[in-house]
Amino acid sequence: MTVLQFAGFRENAVQINGTEYLSNALRGDPESFSQLVESYQTAVYNLCYRMLGDPYEAEDAAQETFLRAYKSLRHYDKKRSFSTWLLSIAAHHCIDQLRRRRMTMVPLENLPYQELRDPTPNPEVTLSISEEQQRVRKLLTSLNPTDRAAVVMYYWYDFSYNEIADSLQITLSAVKSRLHRARKELAQLWMEQHSQYSQAERIRHESPAV
Amino acid sequence: MNHQPFEQWLFSEEPLSPDQSRALQAHLETCESCRQLSAAWSGVQTLFEEVTPIEPSPGFTIRWRARQKAQLRQERYKKERQQSWITLMVSIAGAVLFLGLMVTQIFATVEMPTQLLFIWIFRVTDFVSMIIAAGDLMVTIMDITFGLVAPVYWAAVAAGLGLLSLLWIFSLHQVFQHRRITP
């Protein structure tokens, strides 16, 4: 799914659920809120996973996000998009979790690098889905929590600069500056990853056939 | 080589003017590092566009409902505990206030606390004297009565009273005995 399609998902979710379920949930219907959980779970979970990089932590953070949203539903401003509000809660919670992390993180470079088997002598290597996810996780982990949140919101959820500023409670110029810095860091890390990957591929092709 | 403002333009999402685009292209043709950086950023963007969203494992909503119920239970328990503590504190405060008022009232009515002590001692001694006088009166009445009625009649009365007492105890036992209810 492309970023544009995923951004479209957000719009569809709002259109399908933004009227009936949300209205009933605001009137205090718990079943309607459960329907909202069903509708937005992928969006929230995906954001939490991109932020935290671990599926269990992401599940916990996503669950906590919906609990907080449920508790503070009476404070929800109807003029604001529900998905923006919900994803802001998720982003804030994830940023707090990242700052609270005390355990030593094992650098991703030390994890075993899984190479794909390429039975054909085609130089174009097709990355598996898990490989893609690992690369994305590696890239995002290099960013500080707030920059990471800004990148995830901008590229996965199609947030505008103003929405990012509002969600992260920073100024518009801070958003632009953070995104600019993050793009450069990501590009530099990509170059490092690519050179490592190319070297590994070269070694694999140069090794004698068994 | 000076990489500005080209590096700035590479990572800016703002659209470039035609002149800026031409200048950037010209710079990229001559600068290897900026060309690599541009290619790297394109790679990152492509990866972000192509990577699929991660979905939670099935049953997410069910797990959320269970978690919500557990949290509501915990909050209710916490609230009940708080209310119990508040009730206890208010009761203690009320009791202390009442006691304080009582003490101040008592001390307000007597000139000195020792006077109150003497009053209570006199009352107790009066009560004891009254009991002794009542006892003396009963002895006198019994002396006169025993003189008028023969002892055998006294024995019969005592035996009758004893039998009545036994009957009473037996009937109480029957009333309070546990009965087995058979279906």
Inspect the interface and report whether the beta carbons of B71 and A67 lie closer than 8 Å: yes
A116-148 per-position pLDDT tens digit = 444 444 444 444 558 889 899 999 999 999 999
Closest CA of chain B from A201, distance in Å: 18
For residue A2, the model assigns a pLDDT of 40
Mean pLDDT of chain A: 80
Q: Measured between CB atoms, which of B40, B60, B63 is closest to A187?
A: B40
For residue A110, the model assigns a pLDDT of 54
Q: Is A194 on the interface with B (CB under 8 A)?
A: yes
Inspect the interface and report whether the beta carbons of B61 and A49 lie closer than 8 Å: no
For residue A31, the model assigns a pLDDT of 86
For residue B177, the model assigns a pLDDT of 75
For residue A29, the model assigns a pLDDT of 84
Write out the DSSP string of B141-181.
Answer: HHHHHHHHS-HHHHHHHHHHHHHHHHHHHHHHHHHH---PP
Inspect the interface and report whether the beta carbons of A184 and B7 lie closer than 8 Å: yes
The DSSP secondary-structure symbol of B14 reads S
For residue A20, the model assigns a pLDDT of 81
Q: Is A125 on the interface with B (CB under 8 A)?
A: no
Q: Measured between CB atoms, which of B48, B68, B71 is closest to A3?
A: B48
- By C-alpha distance, the chain B residue nearest A45 is B56
Give the contacts of B156 (CB within 8 A, at least 6 positions apart).
none
Closest CA of chain A from B176, distance in Å: 54
pTM over 0.80: no
For residue A80, the model assigns a pLDDT of 85
Inspect the interface and report whether the beta carbons of A129 and B52 lie closer than 8 Å: yes
A41-59 per-position pLDDT tens digit = 999 999 999 999 999 999 9
Segment A14-41 mean pLDDT: 80
The count of C-alpha atoms lying within 13 angstroms of the C-alpha of A141, restricted to the half-sphere facing its C-beta, is: 15
Q: Which chain A residues are Cβ-neighbours of B50 within 8 angstroms?
A: 2, 132
Select from A44, A63, A147 the residue whose CB has the most chain B CBs within 10 Å, as the one to mutate to test that interface: A63
ipTM over 0.85: no
Q: Is B13 on the interface with A (CB under 8 A)?
A: yes
Inspect the interface and report whether the beta carbons of A132 and B56 lie closer than 8 Å: no
Q: Which chain A residues are Cβ-neighbours of B68 within 8 angstroms?
A: 67, 70
Inspect the interface and report whether the beta carbons of A6 and B64 lie closer than 8 Å: no
CA distance B68 to B148: 90
Q: Which chain A residues are Cβ-neighbours of B8 within 8 angstroms?
A: 180
Positions in chain B whose pLDDT score sits under 50: 182-183
The A residues from 130 to 159 touching B (CB cutoff 8 Å) are 132-133, 135-136, 139, 155-156
Task: Label each residue of chain A as H, E or C.
Answer: CCHHHHHHHHHHHHHHHCCHHHHHHHCCCHHHHHHHHHHHHHHHHHHHHHHHCCHHHHHHHHHHHHHHHHHCHHHCCCCCCHHHHHHHHHHHHHHHHHHHCCCCCCCHHHCCCCCCCCCCCCCCCCCCHHHHHHHHHHHHHCCCHHHHHHHHHHHHHCCCHHHHHHHHCCCHHHHHHHHHHHHHHHHHHHHHHHHHHHHHHHHHHHCCCC
